[in-house]
Every structure is written in C-alpha cells, then in structure tokens.
Structure 1
Amino acid sequence: MHKEIVGVFPGQGSYAPGRLAEFADEPAVREILEITDAVGAAHGIDPVSSLLLYPDAPGIDVLAQNAPERLMLAIFAAGTTGHAILSTIHGVSFDVFLGHSFGEIAALTAAGAFTVENGARVLCLRSEALRSSPPPPGGLVAVPLPADRVEHLLLGGGFHRLEIAAVNAPRQSVVSGPDDELERFARITAALGAPVSRLPSPYIFHNRLCEPAARAFAESIASVATQPLTARVFSSVENGFYPDSETARAALPGHLTRPVRYLDAVRHLNAHGADTFVECGTGNILTALACRAVADVSTVAMFGESPLASQLEKIRTAAPARTSESAASGTARTVNPAPSVQPPAKQKDISSSPETDLDRDRLIAELCSAYADHLGYPEEVFTSDADLEADLGVDSLKRTELLRWTADKYRLGTLPEGTRTGDYPTVAAIAELILRPGEAQNV
C-alpha cells in the first residue's frame, strides 16, 4: 500500500510568540507574512508578522482576551508559512491536508483552493462575523474523557447549551458553551476525577449558539474567489474529502456550529494509507494527538522536541521523498461522503414499562439520590441509563457495596453467590432487580 504524508494545520490555541524568528530571512516566509499583514490591515488588524518573528511579542492569553482577531490571523499565517518552509525549503511532499477547526482555512490555502491573500481574507471575514454576531460569553474546556461519556454527562446533567466542540483523542474531548454552564460542568467532572482545562479561546466555537455568526460568515465569503484544488483536503468536520474548492468554501460557515472529529479523521486517513502526520505551525499538539489516536504512526512537528532536520531524515529513510506531481496526481480520489454528525439518539430507558411507571420512576429517583450521597457525586449525573462503571467511573468494589446496600434496604435477602456487578450496570437495571427479584440475573 502506498504510504501517505498528511500535513495537519492547527486552529485555536496553537500559537507561540517569535517561533518563526529563525526563518525571518526566507523569501517565502517574508512574502506570506507581508501578504497576511496587508490583508489584516485592510480589516483593521495589527500586523501578525511581529507576533511570529519576535519572542517578546504578546502571549496567547493576552491576545485571546485583547486581540482575538489578530491571534487567529497569526495562527493562520503560522500554518501557511509552516507549510511553505516544509515544502519549499525542506522538500516535503504532502499527499493530503487536514485542518483542525479554522486550521482548515490554512489547509485549503496550502492545497490551492485559496491564494494566501484570499485565505487570509476568509479568516478575517470569519472574525468579523463573530464580532458582529457574537455568541454569548463563554469558551472551550478540554476534558480527559471519551466523547460518549461526555455526551452522557451533558444529557444527564441538563446542559442545554453545552455541546461537544471537538473529539481529539480516545480520552480527550472539548466542550463549548456559556460560562455559567461550563462552570457547573467543571464541578461535575472534577467530582468524577476528570478536571477540565480551560482553553485560551475568545469565543464559543463549534456550537449551535454560533448560528448567527455562521449566517453572517456565509454571506460575506460567498464572493471570495477560489481556485482548483491541487491536493486533497480531508475535512474533520465533514468527515470526507472535498470534491472541489467551491464545496469547501460553502462548508466553512457551518463549521462554526458543528464539532471537529479529529480522532475519526486521523483514524480514517491512517486506515487508507497515511502513516506520517506533519504539523504545519508553531506547536506539536496535533501530532501528539495523532499518536494517541493511532499506534505506530510517524509524526513531525516543526518545533517538536527533536530538531526538524532529524525528524525529516527519518521520513526520507523510511520512504524516499515523493515529488509534488505524484502527490497532486491523487487529487481526483475521493471517498463516499459520510453522513453529517448528528446528536446521538438518547438510549431507551428500560424504566418506562407501562405497568409500573410510577413505582419505577419513584424508585429510580430514590436510588439516584441515595447513590449520589453514598459516592459523593453530584446527583444530576445519575440518570437511569448512566453506566456506573463506563460513564461514572464507579469501581467494582463500590458497585458491590451499592448492591449490598440496595439488597439490605429493599429486603432482597442475600444475593446469590456469583452475582456479578456487571449484570446490573445502570440504576435502571438495579431497579429491575428490586421490582422483579425473581427475574434477577445470577451466575
């Protein structure tokens, strides 16, 4: 199987002042930064070249709070210049481009869909849409839990405005939403032993609360010129390759409201031959996440722990460099588009059998309250279908204690030897044990 090199482009949060200082004299870098600064000036944004060329430039927290448009344009410029450094100076030939969040704009620019000028313009218009039609005050938090468990916590906790913004790794999800609900969510995850980390983001992203901004963005970029793709671009939001530049441009506004599925994208590309992921930008976040997503992949980060030259040498040793023509020859290859990400359907609650609805509902509420008190968990995380182990992290010893307490309280007698806690994974299953003890599952 032909092995492929994927260029990955980060979005929000991937910035470090002065990281491109050593490349300040490279003509390709100077040209890109000059173009980006000129476009930014036309949109009232201070130059970003100084942020990337001078180590004493403001840090990410200061920019996120005081100059978010400048920060996002700097991240775009860093990704675009990173690609130029890797391809023109070091001769890296990319087969596929993959962007994370608004990093997809830089990925499309690298793939020829936009000129550098128009890519920067798209990014500025995105910032203007967010400024003119802002979502409520809020942001993003990273939580060290699988996406399905986070989804359960959001549903069970009554978080109506929080949404999963990104699924980055098997045990790393990002949640977006207003500050009040993020604070309550943080208290719950802390109680579960999974404290969140606030990300330096000036806005809520990848959330339906961004719909007004998405509409404004769509209107503003409708006339931005595109060019034919010269390389393939896989969208981590659309979950497939873009067939053409116009489709990609039309999709970008919707990304403000939909989640990034970086984990799925990395796994899909790896399953179809991608074995090397190269980060174009000032950090190594995406390559680190790729290693967590798939075993035995090679990664290169321009500013990783090892010198860039030694990282690139490993690639050349493993697979001889390919020409840009051989990479471009695959532009017509596409995959069948995957369905759009839909909110997961709520699992059927087995507590809703008609013959004992009231008794069962009352019993489940009583059990949820008692278990929350016994474990020291917030009561709102308990729902009838919450898996005590997988969703709430209750170990087998504590689940055994809960079963014994339940048997005593509801006079079930001594549970038969060999009864397994795994036979009763949810509060609803334990309620069935109480309501129908004769049908209890024993071994």
Structure 2
Amino acid sequence: MSPRPAGADGPPARAADRPRTVLMCPGQGAYLPGALRHLREVPAVAEVLATVDAHAPDRGPAAVPVGRLLTEADAPGPEELLRADPLGFDLATYAAVVAAATALLDLARPWIDAVLGHSVGDLAALTVAGAVTVRQGVQLLRVRDRLLRTAELPAAGMVATDAGADRAADLIRTCGTERVRIAARNAPAQTVLAGPDGQLARLQRALLDDGHRVTRLTSRTAFHHPLLGEVHRSFRRLLRAQPIARPALAVHTTAGHWAQTPAQLRTAAAAHLTEPMALHHTLLALRQAGFTTYLDSGPRALLSALVKAGLPGCATAAPLRTPVGVERIRQRLTAVAPPHRPGRGAW
C-alpha cells in the first residue's frame, strides 16, 4: 500500500525504509505522433485512449481520433495538429500523459508516492492521482476549448530561453515589452515567457542580441498569463460543479505546494491559465521533503532533463522518452528502482 496522501500542509508520510519517488506529468510538449504505438495493446493504455475518443464526439468528421494520433507514427506533428485541430492537440497531449503515467503507475505503484503536474499537465496529474476521471478530464478540456475560442484574445504565444529569469525580467523592462510575463521558471538556465505576439517577437530579438537561445513553443495562446483572466474565471466557476475525489496519491503543484482539499485540487486544475510556474523552486522543496527519484511520464524526457539540471545527484528516469514496449520500460525503471521494490508490475 502506498503512503497516505498529503494533508493540506505537507507531503505524504515518509516510508521508513526508502526515499520517496514522484511521478511527473508534463503539459505542452507531451504530444508526439505515435508515442504509444508499442503500448496500444496494454489494457491501461487502450482504456484511456478509448475513453478519450468516446467522450470527444464534437471534433468534426475529419478529425483524427486521439487513439490514432498516439499509436500511428505518421500522424500529424504537433504544429500541424495544433493548426488544424486545437482541441485534438489538447486531448492528445492529455491522453498521452494520462495513458503513459497510468502505465508507469501500474508497473511501479509500490514505490511512487506523489504526482507532479507541469502546466496543463496538472490536469493529467489529477487524473492519474484519482481526483478526477478521464471522462471529466475530457469534458474539462472541451469546455476550456470553447472558452478559448469565444474569448476575444489577441494573437499570443510562448517562448523558452536559456536566459535566467532575472535577466529576462531586465529585458522585459528595458525593451518596453511589459505585456510579456515570465510564465515559468523551469531551471536556472530555462525561463518560459508568454505574451502578445508583437511584444514577444521584440523581446525574442533582444534575447538573441544578448546572446541567448530562444525557441518558440507549440502553444495555442499565452498560457500562465493575465490575458486569460476571464477564461480562468469562467473555468473556475465550472470547476466548482465538478465532483473531486480524494486522491490516492499526493498531488504537488508547480506553484510550490501540496494540493489535497477539493478547493486546492480545483485551483490546481485551472492554474495553467494565468498562474506562473516555479518548477525549479518546487523541485528544491520536494528534494528537501525527501523526494530523490523522479519519473518522467512524457516523451523526449523534457521534465527529467530539468530535474537533472536543477537537482544534481537525484535519480531520474524517462521510460517513455522513445516509443518502446513494456519490457524496455521495465528495464529503464530498474535503473532507478529502490532495492526493495516488490514485484514486476501489473503486466
């Protein structure tokens, strides 16, 4: 049995004989065409994909089912899918993380103590922890899609840079790009910025002139930004009507705190719209609380790379960093498994 979930003010009770492990759920960047193609027959994965497609009937007759997006290598890439079908992109991102994290949880449940979401990955983390169902997650993303489509938002987006947050803040002030905000402090040398396209492009040029790398992120708008304030308020009102279960795993947020009560969990589900993230400080707090092993449920190992940069000496694994089958996942988990790990998982 896993340790009891966290209370409102602290982490789960420490298992006496081992350090603690957190399962990380990425957000944008987690969609990779065909990422689950070697796992399509795994019951936990198949169930998630089938549920997502069953409860998203309004994407139009030409929309590619999420199950196909994640199990066929020639499915549309992230930018193409986002342009053609923004809701499909959101659903595929969510389904990829929930399916992968559920699969990892089935294999490693005895030694996973908490889940950590990153950006919209908070909704996947809540699902994996058992606070909301997959059906609820799909319904919430459909509502969010409607709110984003009907909001009068300017063209806006997000970029990642290797500039530190302090240097980025200096350039925001000196470039007159005050509508650009720091969306995420991911690591000492990775900051995410969000804002209207015009000011974001001006700041991007200033960062490049300053010798920094800058990457435009595949994002439908400027998440973690006050631009989405009205969307956030509407989404929060709708969340109040959603039943929230007591999570089976402790839930930590990139806002830097444990979420346990229904109100805290609802706040976590909506935070990606307007609240900035402080992943680096969150990881430091988790390390201080005894979390020394970090499992990344996404492809490309995006979050585990940030852990390696910010928490040297901690164990990390990204078992689905490339599309692989169950046995290869087990091998990758073995590298970080506690010595006393019981069993071989559910498959």
**Does TM, normalized by the shorter one, top 0.5?**
yes
Map Cα deviations across residues 357-393 of structure 1 (whole Å, 9 max, x no partner): xxxxxxxxxxxxxxxxxxxxxxxxxxxxxxxxxxxxx
Contact kept, 8 Å, 2:319 with 2:333, in 1: the verdict is no
Contact kept, 8 Å, 2:27 with 2:119, in 1: the verdict is yes
1:71 aligned partner, one-letter code: F
2:31 counterpart of 1:18: no
2:143 aligned partner, one-letter code: L
CA gap 1:92/1:79 in 2 versus in 1, 3 angstroms: farther
3-state SS in 2 of match to 1:224 = coil
Structure 1 or 2, whichever has the larger Rg, is 1
Instruction: Give me the whole-angstrom Cα distance separating, in 1, the residues matched to 2:94 and 2:339.
Output: 29
3-state SS in 2 of match to 1:52 = helix
1:164 aligned partner, one-letter code: I
Map Cα deviations across residues 210-266 of structure 1 (whole Å, 9 max, x no partner): 1121122122322122111111111102x1001323321144334311111111111
1:199 aligned partner, one-letter code: L
Instruction: Give me the whole-angstrom Cα distance separating, in 1, the residues matched to 2:111 and 2:97.
Output: 16
* Paired residues for 1:123-272 under 5 Å: 123-237=141-255, 239-272=256-289
* Paired residues for 1:278-289 under 5 Å: 278-289=295-306
Contact kept, 8 Å, 2:298 with 2:321, in 1: the verdict is no
Instruction: Give me the whole-angstrom Cα distance separating, in 1, the residues matched to 2:293 and 2:107.
Output: 19
2:97 counterpart of 1:76: no
CA gap 1:19/1:28 in 2 versus in 1, 3 angstroms: same
Instruction: Give me the whole-angstrom Cα distance separating, in 2, the residues matched to 1:106 and 1:279.
Output: 13
* Paired residues for 1:41-440 under 5 Å: 41=57, 47-89=65-107, 91=109, 93-237=111-255, 239-304=256-321, 307-316=328-337, 318-321=338-341
Map Cα deviations across residues 74-132 of structure 1 (whole Å, 9 max, x no partner): 11111111122112245563111100101000101111110121122222222222122
36-45 or 70-79, larger mean C-alpha shift: 36-45
Map Cα deviations across residues 245-304 of structure 1 (whole Å, 9 max, x no partner): 332114433431111111111111012111111111333100111100110111111233
1:11 aligned partner, one-letter code: G
Which residue does the alignment assign to 2:10?
none
CA gap 1:134/1:35 in 2 versus in 1, 3 angstroms: farther
154-163 or 87-96, larger mean C-alpha shift: 87-96
Instruction: Give me the whole-angstrom Cα distance separating, in 1, the residues matched to 2:306 and 2:199.
Output: 27
2:33 aligned partner, one-letter code: P
Instruction: Give me the whole-angstrom Cα distance separating, in 1, the residues matched to 2:108 and 2:293.
Output: 16
Deviation at 1:196, TM superposition (A): 1.2
Instruction: Give me the whole-angstrom Cα distance separating, in 2, the residues matched to 1:188 and 1:223.
Output: 45
Instruction: Give me the whole-angstrom Cα distance separating, in 2, the residues matched to 1:202 and 1:41.
Output: 21
3-state SS in 2 of match to 1:161 = coil
Map Cα deviations across residues 330-374 of structure 1 (whole Å, 9 max, x no partner): xxxxxxxxxxxxxxxxxxxxxxxxxxxxxxxxxxxxxxxxxxxxx
Instruction: Give me the whole-angstrom Cα distance separating, in 2, the residues matched to 1:68 and 1:50.
Output: 16
CA gap 1:203/1:234 in 2 versus in 1, 3 angstroms: same
TM-score normalized with structure 2 length: 0.87
Map Cα deviations across residues 378-429 of structure 1 (whole Å, 9 max, x no partner): xxxxxxxxxxxxxxxxxxxxxxxxxxxxxxxxxxxxxxxxxxxxxxxxxxxx
Determine what percentage of the aligned residue pairs are the same residue.
32
Deviation at 1:151, TM superposition (A): 1.2
Contact kept, 8 Å, 2:225 with 2:275, in 1: the verdict is yes
Which ranges in structure 2 are unaligned for 5 or more consecutive residues? Answer: 1-15
Instruction: Give me the whole-angstrom Cα distance separating, in 1, the residues matched to 2:313 and 2:20.
Output: 14
CA gap 1:195/1:134 in 2 versus in 1, 3 angstroms: farther
3-state SS in 2 of match to 1:168 = strand
1:179 aligned partner, one-letter code: D
CA gap 1:241/1:251 in 2 versus in 1, 3 angstroms: same
3-state SS in 2 of match to 1:275 = strand
CA gap 1:168/1:322 in 2 versus in 1, 3 angstroms: farther
Q: How many residues align?
A: 321
Greater relative CO (CA pairs within 8 A, separation 6+) = 2
TM-score normalized with structure 1 length: 0.69
Contact kept, 8 Å, 2:122 with 2:268, in 1: the verdict is no
CA gap 1:5/1:185 in 2 versus in 1, 3 angstroms: same
2:24 counterpart of 1:8: yes
3-state SS in 1 of match to 2:123 = helix
Which ranges in structure 1 are unaligned for 5 or more consecutive residues? Answer: 324-443
2:332 aligned partner, one-letter code: Q
3-state SS in 1 of match to 2:335 = helix
Instruction: Give me the whole-angstrom Cα distance separating, in 2, the residues matched to 1:291 and 1:210.
Output: 32
Contact kept, 8 Å, 1:134 with 1:210, in 2: the verdict is no
CA RMSD of aligned residues (A): 2.0
